[in-house]
Structure 1
Amino acid sequence: MSELHSEIKRVGGVTKVAEMIGKPLGTVSSWLSRRVPAEEVLAFEAATGISRHVIRPDVFGEAKPAVARAAVD
Structure 2
Amino acid sequence: MGIETHSETPLARAVRAAGSQSAFGRMIGRRQSTIFLWLNNDTPLPAELVLLVERETGISKHDLRPDIYPHAQASGMPVERTGVACNQPSISQRAPA
Q: Which TM class, normalised by the smaller chain length?
A: 0.5 to 0.7
The residue number in structure 2 matching 1:36 is 45
Q: Which has the larger radius of gyration?
A: 2
Residue pairs, 1:1-73, within 5 angstroms: 1-4=7-10, 5-32=12-39, 33=41, 34-62=43-71
Gaps of 5+ in 1: 64-73
Per the alignment, do residues 60 and 9 of structure 1 end up closer, same or farther by CA in structure 2, a change over 3 Å counting? same
Report the counterpart of residue 79 of structure 2 in structure 1.
none
For residues 7 and 40 of structure 1, the distance between their equivalents in structure 2, rounded to whole angstroms, comes to: 12
Give the helix-richer structure, 1 or 2.
1
Structure 2: runs of 5+ lacking an equivalent: 1-6, 73-97
For CA contacts below 8 A with separation 6 or more, give which structure has more relative contact order.
1
Alignment RMSD: 2.3
Deviations 1:3-42 (Å, cap 9, x if unpaired)?
A: 3113421331222111111211122222332111222222
CA distance in 2, matches of 1:62, 1:30: 27
Q: How many residues align?
A: 63
Moved over 4 A (4+): none
